[in-house]
Every structure is written in structure tokens, then in C-alpha cells.
Structure 1
């Protein structure tokens, strides 16, 4: 138990009318409010993310010029090279774009550089492409910093389209067009797309531009599983458009048409199961990433492109072997780093290097060290005179900005706020270490783990209904962590150490006569402390524990302290810390029943008859296969979109593509209950 920061929001929910209509508990709505979802619309959009709310790909300012270039390439049957990154985001984006372009009649080849070659576009690869009559390169998850390489490509007669999501440098490359939502004037309203998400936007635009037929080319919906896999793997914020793509993509993944994904799910023991983002993050994505880390990224790409299920299964098994080897290499490197750190005081910024380290796993080891030491970590694998580095940060520490301050010592660098890669001459590593630590002193950052608490709740408020409501906030991940609850004054009735290495704590905690099990993973070393505590305060996630045929509610403890002992804490008055894309909300919740609010959204309220009439009209305009191109009319477009979102929520229709007009399929459903739709309950008369 450390003196960590417990950050508590004290805002409470007060919208009685909405509470009654939504059928949600006050605790759930308070948590949503604390996270910035304080209006009726924002709550519905968050809990029931709709594919109808995807942004138009044509908002990218360069999209039209890119489509013109791609139209020429299709007409002239030019040979296109898709050049992707070797991580899971780049590999899934490359697979998506390859499959999509092939289905649309393009001549396409793919290239994934090895980790030995390094991240990004390379002059040698461009020169080889020129020798193989490539006239157009599309990058995936890379290229935004490739100023020199893209200039060279032009001299070779090769045009380049950049699709990327990394932080743009001051000077942008002279590409045909650039799709990167992080560029300030990109025109795109959501900056947090993963690389695969940007690739998907290009494919969406192509489908719309070519006026595709679903029967001939397939649908955009077919690619949502690839988008979900890459987005989860890249740890981008699961809010806004990413949340729409991932939540719906997981549903598509459960019945995927891609043999490679299906084979990987079977290899991971997930085939036929209801999928969660955590399962993809901790079980599936590491296998895809392992290929890139161990210099076999092409194996992961081949798996995702494979049509034969039997062959895909063999590849999935091979990836599991690669992942096992990655885990062994990672363990050895972690032990070596721990040994070095044990030799002296822990610095403010950990900068370690070794010629014995595999550069493919230093990033994940850096993350492990951040978890343990609560400070920034920069690990460098020395290869001759050059060091290949990976950095991971902590709260309030911007890794990329700190690397920019040390640009004079670096050969190149790039990345994000919390993670970055760089190369550095080995003889410059001491200067880099000194510079990073000197800069850190000026930042005034405190080495304490922070826990953002969503709600204080009593032990008897925990029930299956609350757990099911909280599950509606999934998928959980970066930008949208699983809700953290706090309960004070619990009696410690028993405590034991469990697990193969006796690394976990199992506790029985009670309030009055109500007992519940609690697990504290990786806190076995604190057994002696807990066994001497009579009353305890805990912060935890609520989970369903299944053992045999018995399911019970279980608290998964993140941190604890003896009751009555005041810990340092902050009062959070905004939604900061959850979503980087949602506005922070302060003060009390707006009154949903004010006249101004009613005037904005009320007329007319929805009724069963209105939905029945609307459904009959849809049936009249569907084709023989049940497909329909649909867009709202000028009269009451908001009401029509709401009805379609209700139909989508109930499974009456399925989105197949488009951001307006939309391609839907009318599903064969014999009977459904409107009251099971949260949107209908809220908007009905």
C-alpha cells in the first residue's frame, strides 16, 4: 500500500425525469455525469453508439484530391503499393486497405518493413518499388514525418498518399494528399483515430466515390472487425468515433467473415464467445504485435489476408509460438533492467541501454517499469553505434515533447504523448540521460499513482443490475476505463495469499452482515499489512466472478488504506482524465425538463404507431435482398435518425455502409419489444 492519490469527483446526478425514463440507477447516471456525459443526447450516444453517427470521410480536406488520384490509378490499372507499419495497428490497416482495394478492382501489392529496417518509409524500399513499376504508394500508420523519403519518391516518379495518425512535425511531406486527423487544419473533427481507423475512412470515401454495389464489392461493415482489432491494440482513446467503431466492430468480429481473425479467435479460445475489448487487448492483440516485435510482421499480415481457414489456423498457431518467445525475451530483458536499477538510486527519469536487448520488446518492458516505478522510462537497444529506443510516460509527462527538447542528441524520433520511439547514437546516450533528467526537474511532477474515483457507493448497493448497467459503458480502455468505485469502512473478515506464485490477495470484506469477496491482484506482498487491519477503505472495479455454475459479484481492488487514515486526495471538478475528446463539465447537471431543452428536442415525441408506420415505409423501398439506401428527408431529419437508431439498437436494421445516405439491410425479425430500447424509453411519449 502506497500513499497514492485518490481523485474523487463529488458531483451528483439530479435529473429525476430522465432517471425514471432511462431505467438506470442514480449511481450509473452520476458516473456518466462525472465523465462529461451530462445531456440526454450525450448519455444516449455514449451508451448506445450508433454507426449512423460516423463522421463523413469527405471532411478530410485532402480527400477529394486523393480520390482523383486513386480514380486515375484504377482506370489505368496502375500498380499500387500499400506500405504499412509492423505493429498491430499498421498490419490491420494494411490488411483492410488491401482487401478493400482488391475488391474495388485495383492492382495492389503490400509491404511491411521489418523491425530491423525500422519504423516508417525507407529510401531503399522506395527505390525497390520504383524498380518494380510501382507508381503509387499508400502509407498506413506511418509517413507523416517522411519528408525526405517522399521527396525522393517524386524523383522516382512515384506519388505517395499518406494515411497516418501520429503527431505531425512542423514540416509536412509533399505528398499527393495526407489523411491525418491530428493535423490542425485536416478538417476532420475527431483527432483520435488509430491508423486503421484512418485507412477505413479512405475506404469509406472510395466506396461512396465509386457508387459501389454491395453485392459486387461487399460492404464497409465487413471491415469493422479489423478496425476494432487495430484500434484496441493501439491503445487510442475509446471515446467518440473510436467507441462507435470498436463497440460495433466487436459484434462483427463475433461472426467475422475473415478467416484469419476467426482462426485467431479459435486459437485464443474465444471463438463463439461474447467478445470484450479487454480480451482483444490482452489475448489477441499481443499475438499480432508479437510478430512485429520478433521481426515476423509479415506472418501476421498473411494471417489476416488468408482465405483458407485451415491455413489460417496454422498461421495462428505459429503466431502463438512467436508470442511465447516474445514473453520469454521480455522476461529476460525485464530482469536485466531490474538488476541494473537495483545497483543504485532510482533516477527521476529512467534511461537504460544495453547491447544485449531485443529492440522489439523494449517498449513493452518500458511499460512494465512505468507500472512499477511510477516514472518515465526510456529503454535503448544498442546495435553497433546506433541505439534504437522506446519511451513510455506517466500522467502530466509528454514523452514526445521531452524528446523534442533533446533533438540535438537524437537521430530521429516520433510518437505520441505517452509513447514514442527514437534512435540515438550510442555515444550520445549519457547526454540524453542527463538532458531528460534535468528537464524533468523543471516540470515539478509528483511520483504518485493516481486513481480517478467515479463514485462512492455502499456495499449493499452492489448488485447484478448495477453491474449490467456499468457494462453498458464498455468497451473499456484508454480514455474510457472501467468505472472505479469506492467503499469505506469495511470489516476485514479474512485475508489469504493465492496464485501460483502467491502474488495475489483474496479478502472477505463485510458491511454489517453483508459479506463479499474481493481480489487484489499482484498485491500478495502486502498480506502482512492487510491481516493487521480491522477496517479498510477500498477502491475497485466491479466484476462478475464465475466459478463452476455459480456467478457472484466480486470487487477487484485497485488500492486500499486503513479506515480513518486520511490519504492525500484531490477533488476532481471536471471530467479530465477520462476522455480527451469530450468537453469537461463542471457544476451540477442541467435540468432536462427546462422549457429551452424541451423546445430543442421534444416535437414530436416518438410513439409505437410512428415507429410502426416508419417501418412499413422502409419495407416498401427495400430491394429483393432486403437492402435499402436511405437518408433522412429535409422535414424532421432528427426524428427520422432517432427512429433508425432505435431500429439499429433493436437489430431491426443493420448498417452496411455510408455516412449519409446510408446502406442498411432490413433484418428478418419476427417480434421485438420496443421497451428494450434505451433510446425508445427516453424519447417515447
Structure 2
């Protein structure tokens, strides 16, 4: 929708109610939410540290200094590194780089600093890591290296002089920018550099928003504020990416530019190399130029992703046999450390409760924990850092290493820290109760303006009461399909077979559902994906 049409748009009663419940009042805030644009992004220089970071990077560019970029090897870190490496390349800067992977420790080691110092590096830039690496920062200072740390994980409150910290979680930031991912922060730094006339033009920065969107989605940060703008704009550009490697990947996967395509198709492949110790393979795809190099990287990525899928499936089968303890902490003896995070994410989603998956290597245990919305896992564990050899993360995820003889103490800490989260009833309540006649193509189009859905912006749930089951049609792809009517409206519904709900023709029911729409062969169709269903109380008769 054009800007002029957006200005004349007034949300319907139903959408206004949903937005109001989510703390988005009518007026300019509604316009920004439903029609996000890059012009709505936070001023980069209002984020603590970015002004100093951009000035330091600009000085390195103009002085032709030797720069070293150190990043995390997950999708967020890979995408952040790709954005900055392309900028340095365009600016003609001699920039070496390294990505840590899931088989290593989480922090930058002082030994790494010694190696890069011997090569003549004067500026270290970290992306998606570095806040907790104080020994490395001290080593860098001692060797005359200044660091620009671009990160969103918790850790040190400040870095030793003369290092520069860009981390809204630690130093604060305007609300819209507080939960930027590592890639989102790298993108914001690029915007700052562009405004200073350094490294890249504003048009080049805008062309890279699709990479920023992939990293943002990959890290699971809330899709609100600047994150929402980045993801919405990036997904719109994904089908025609200016990045040749990303364009090749999107075409190979048949991705259509939805958040689901990024979550289930693109990001697993970008993450796969890092899980097996070679995250540079994914980075080569995003920074490469020559077609033969991109094809080689893509083939390697696909092979590693197949290995990832097989390893995950085997581990899940083993966990299913042994069972998951009620406290959600699992030790898998022969699991690669790189797979702990993906398994913890899967189990936390299935159980709707925090999960910690650990593996053992000699006398050391390494683990990854994943949380659920509304529970700050980092804060729950951080007060016992003394138990761990290394500890890092943010509210939704943590990574830990500890001596095996401390297993009982760590398990007790986990149980105590997550008891409150496990006790919460996390069933999602409907946003609004409607009549079935309220469900129209116009409403479906309005709901589409609320996309992308995800953390911090869940898809709306609706409830309808006293609907009449007309007929049961069939079972299809794990769903029971039936029709309901209310007043003069009739809709097809689908409910998962495992919902354990009896569907009885002519019975009056209440249903909780999401609205689905599709278009095929010129025909437009709306149907209801039902999540809950129960027998309705009779409607009171009008007096």
C-alpha cells in the first residue's frame, strides 16, 4: 500500500482492538506498525556507542589500517559478518576475519588476540559476541589493539578503555532499538557509516536489508520496533536479492519471502556449517562473487544440512526413548556439542517450558538452554556464574560449560531457577470474540498487514461461541475437517487430530481459531484453523 493510502487508512474495530491489547494506540503508532518503512528506523546515533564506533571505523578506513573481524558462527553472526565484510571490501580495507563455531568455547580467547596482534591488526571488530570476553579485551589493550564490540548478549557492564561497546541490552537504547539482534546492530552501524559518507552509500545499505532480516529472524528476537521494520522490508526484497549467494539459495529452495521460509528453509542451512565447525562455508555464500565459488559453497551447505537433519532426528529418537525429565534438563552422552541448541529449541517449543540439553566431553559438560516467552533465562541463572567455566546468552537462550563434577549443583540450579516458568499455564488466550459474519476478505487483508508474526507479535487468535457443527467432511494430513455455521455465515474448519476433541454434528460449540486464506485458480478461500473447541453453553434468548 502506498504512503498516501496508508495515511488514509483507518483500522477496523477488530484490528483496533487487537492492536490496543498489544499496547499499540491508534494514530501514528498504528500507521508505523501496519505500514513499516526504513524511514521509521531509529536514528543510529541515538544508540549509545554507535557514534564512537562509526568514527573509529571511518578512521580505520581512511587510514588503511589492518582490521580483524571476529563473529559468532550462527545465522545472526554470519549475516552480521557478511554485512560488515562487504562494506570493508567496498571501502578497500584489508580485513581478515574468523567465525567461532559450536565446537568451541563461547568467549574470545586472549590467545586469539595474540595471534592477530602479531599480524599487525590495529582494529578488532566483533559481531554477535565480545561483551563477555573481558580477558581478551584486556589482552587487546595490552597489545595496542582497539576493539569495537557490536553485540546484543549480556555480559560486562562496560569494556576497558579504549574499547567501544555497542550493546543496547547493556548500555540502553531507545525502546525501538533495544532488542536489535547482532545483524540488526551491524545493519544500524552501516546506516551510521553511510550517513558519514564512509564505506557504503545509503542505497547499498538498503539493498542489504534482506541479509539483516535473515539474521534477525534467526536469533529469535522480538519482531517489534526496528526489528519489525527490518524483517518486513527484508522479506519484501528477498525474492529479488542484490546478494548473488542469497539469491542462489532462495531460488534453490523455492522460498517465497515469508518468515516461515526463513525459519524452516534458509536459516537451517546458514546455521548448518557452524554446527560442524565450518561456519565460513555459509559466510562464503554471502560474501562470494564468482558463480562457481557460490555453487561450491551451496553444495557444501546442503550436504551439511542433510547431516544436521539426520543427527537431530537420531538424537530426538534417543531422547524420546529415555524420556524427558519434568525439569527439562537432558544429558546426551554422545551428542555433538553443536547440536545442543537446536535440540533445546525443539524441546522447549514442544513442552512450552525451558529446556537445557547438555553433552559431555571428558570431564567437561557443555549445554544450551532455551526459554519460553516471558521468562528471562539468563537472569534466572546469572547469579551462579561461579558454577560455570563459561556462561553467556540473553533472556531467551544461554550457553554454558562446567566441570562434570558440578552436574548435581547445576541441575539443582536449573530446577530451582525454572520452577516458576514450568508452573505457568501458557495457553494463549484469544485476542477477541467475534461473530463468524465478521470474518471477511477485508479482515483477512488487514491481518496480513500485521505480519510477519513471531516472537513479540504472535498471530491473532479469535473465539466464536455457539457455532453449529454442520458436518464432518474428512481427515486430511493430520487434521479433522468440518464445517460450522453461525447466523448466516458458514466456514470450513480444520482441527489437529491429536486435539482429542469429539466433533458431533448439530452440536453447538465454541471454537478458538486463526484465520487462513488462500487463492488458487482465481478462487479466493477463507477457512479457520481451530486450536481449541468445546461444547457451548446455550445463548441467552432475547427478551
Same fold (TM over 0.5): yes
- Quote how far apart the aligned CAs of 1:497 are: 3.4
> Aligned match of 1:408 in 376, 381, 386?
386
Indicate how the Cα distance of structure 1 residues 525 and 531 shifts in structure 2: closer, same or farther if over 3 A, else same.
Answer: farther
CA–CA distance in 2 between the matches of 1:293 and 1:506? 40
- Could you tell me which of 356, 360, 371 is aligned with 2:349? 371
| 2:463 corresponds to | 486
Cα distance change, pair 211–156 in 1 and its aligned pair in 2 (3 A)? closer
What secondary structure, in the 3-state scheme, does the structure 2 residue paired with 1:22 have?
coil
SS of residue paired to 1:84: strand
Q: Given the superposition, is the C-alpha separation of residues 475 and 438 from structure 1 closer, same or farther in structure 2, using an over 3 Å criterion?
A: closer
- Alpha-carbon contact 1:162-1:175 (below 8 Å) kept: no
Deviation of the 1:163 alpha carbon: 0.3
1:256 maps to what in 2?
Answer: 241
Kept after mapping to 2: 8 A contact 1:267/1:316: no
Look up the match of 1:497: 475
Deviation at 1:173, TM superposition (A): 4.8
SS state at 1:451 partner: coil
Equivalent pair of 2:91/2:200 in contact (CA under 8 Å): no
Q: Which of the numbers 536, 553, 564 marks the counterpart of 2:526?
A: 553
For 2:404 and 2:502, the matched residues in 1 are separated by 45
Residue 461 (structure 1) aligned to one of 405, 423, 438: 438
In structure 2, the CA distance between the partners of 1:531 and 1:318, relative to structure 1 (3 Å rule), is farther
The offset of 1:548, in angstroms, is 5.7
Cα drift, residue 249 of structure 1: 1.7
Question: What's the offset of the Cα at 1:505?
Answer: 3.3
Q: Give the 5 Å matches for 1:102-181.
A: 102-170=89-157, 172-174=159-161, 176-181=163-168
Aligned residue runs from structure 1 range 194-593, under 5 A: 194-210=181-197, 214=201, 219-270=204-255, 273=256, 275-341=257-323, 346-347=325-326, 349-441=327-419, 443=420, 446-492=423-469, 493-494=471-472, 496-499=474-477, 503-511=478-486, 514-520=489-495, 523-526=496-499, 529-530=502-503, 534-546=507-519, 550-564=523-537
Give the Cα separation in 1 of the matches to 2:378 and 2:483.
44
| Deviation of the 1:401 alpha carbon | 1.7
Do the aligned partners of 1:61 and 1:187 also contact (CA within 8 Å) in 2?
Answer: no
Q: Distance in 2 between matches of 1:127 and 1:213?
A: 31
Separation in 2, partners of 1:134, 1:243: 36
Give a deviation string over 1:99-126, Cα, whole Å, max 9, x none.
Answer: 0122123221221122212333223322
Aligned pair in 2 of structure 1 residues 170, 108: CA closer, same or farther (>3 Å)? closer
**What is the Cα deviation at residue 364 of structure 1?**
2.2
Structure 2, unmatched stretches of 5+, are 1-5, 539-543
Structure 1 distance, partners of 2:296, 2:492, is: 41
Q: CA deviation at 1:517?
A: 2.3
Deviations 1:326-347 (A, max 9, x none): 12211111222222226xxx42
Offset of residue 187 of structure 1: 7.1
User: Gaps spanning 5+ residues in structure 1: where?
Assistant: 1-18, 566-685
Distance 1:407 1:76, change over 3 A: same
- Compute the displacement of 1:558 (Å): 2.8
Any conservation in 1 of the 2:332–2:358 contact (CA below 8 Å)? yes
In the TM superposition, residue 142 of structure 1 has moved relative to its aligned partner by 0.5
Distance 1:86 1:226 in 2: 15
**Distance (Å, rounded) in 1 between the aligned partners of 2:414 and 2:198:** 53
Question: How does the TM-score come out when normalised to structure 2?
Answer: 0.91
The number of aligned residues is 533
Q: TM-score, normalised by structure 1?
A: 0.73
- Name the residue aligned to 2:72: 85
Q: Deviations over 1:403-426 (max 9, x none)?
A: 224323222211122221111212
Task: State the shift of 1:368 in Å.
Answer: 2.3
Q: Is the alpha carbon distance of 1:20 and 1:400 closer, same or farther for their aligned partners in structure 2, counting shifts above 3 Å?
A: closer
Deviates more, 1:388-397 or 1:37-46: 388-397
Checking the alignment, whether the CA contact within 8 Å between 1:159 and 1:176 is kept in structure 2 is: yes
State the distance in 2 between where 1:140 and 1:233 align: 15
Partner of residue 35 from structure 2, selected from 31, 35, 48:
48
Provide closer, same or farther for how the CA distance between residues 152 and 539 of structure 1 changes in structure 2, counting only shifts above 3 A.
same
Which region of structure 1 is more displaced relative to structure 2, 122-131 or 78-87?
122-131
Are the structure 2 counterparts of residues 97 and 555 from structure 1 closer, same or farther at C-alpha, using a change threshold of 3 Å? same
Q: 1:329 to 1:547 in 2, by over 3 A?
A: farther
Contact 1:497–1:527, Cα closer than 8 Å, also in 2? no
SS at match of 1:183: helix
Assess, with a 3 A threshold, how the Cα gap between structure 1 residues 20 and 242 changes in structure 2: closer, same or farther: closer
Question: Could you tell me which residue of structure 1 aligns to residue 541 of structure 2?
Answer: none
Radius of gyration: which is bigger? 1
Structure number with greater CO (CA < 8 Å, separation at least 6) is: 1
CA offset at residue 375 of structure 1?
2.5
Of 23, 45, 55, 1:36 maps to 23
Secondary structure of residue in 2 paired with 1:494: strand
CA shift in 2, pair 1:104/1:559, >3 Å: farther
